[in-house]
Amino acid sequence: MRRVAALALVLLAGCGGRGNTDEPPDTNEIRRLSTPGGSPTDAKAESASIGPLRPEDQVALGESGARCHFLRNNQLLVAASGNDAVARIGGELRHFVQTAVADESGIFLEDRQVSISIGRVDPAGAAARLTVTNRRTEVQERWAGAWRCAG
């Protein structure tokens, strides 16, 4: 019986009982360590920040290229073709799935974290509104621009 009790104590000590003095990090420590540079507030603001696409970014859409574009001040912010779309969110090129077919009235895009909604505000023209929403951080950005789709 003593042997069994002694063996149980040895096993418990080796399984992270009192012998392990490392405490797990708290939520704030995890957030601080996983946020590169800047403060968590800066990272939260960037989580829905859309930036202009680079010329090489459209190559990510394949041979067919972009069929629809959202432009603001002559800068391309969203390019969509087929079932794929690209945008730069927080400086990172991201691919989005179209939840509805892109047409001249607009489009709705999403990935695991971010959604993008583009809708024309003037049915006769190209004037449109773009809304970027980060569903995890609840940050949202809105822009006015032009939405155009090729025939």
pTM: 0.68
Whether residue 78 is predicted with pLDDT greater than 50 in this model: the reply is yes
pLDDT in tens, 17-70: 444 446 666 665 565 555 555 555 556 667 789 999 998 887 777 656 778 999
- Over the chain, what is the mean pLDDT? 78
CB 136 within 8 A of CB 113: yes
CB 108 within 8 A of CB 85: no
Can you list the positions of beta strands (E) in 5-138?
A: 50-51, 68-72, 75-81, 84-89, 92-98, 106-110, 114-120, 127-134
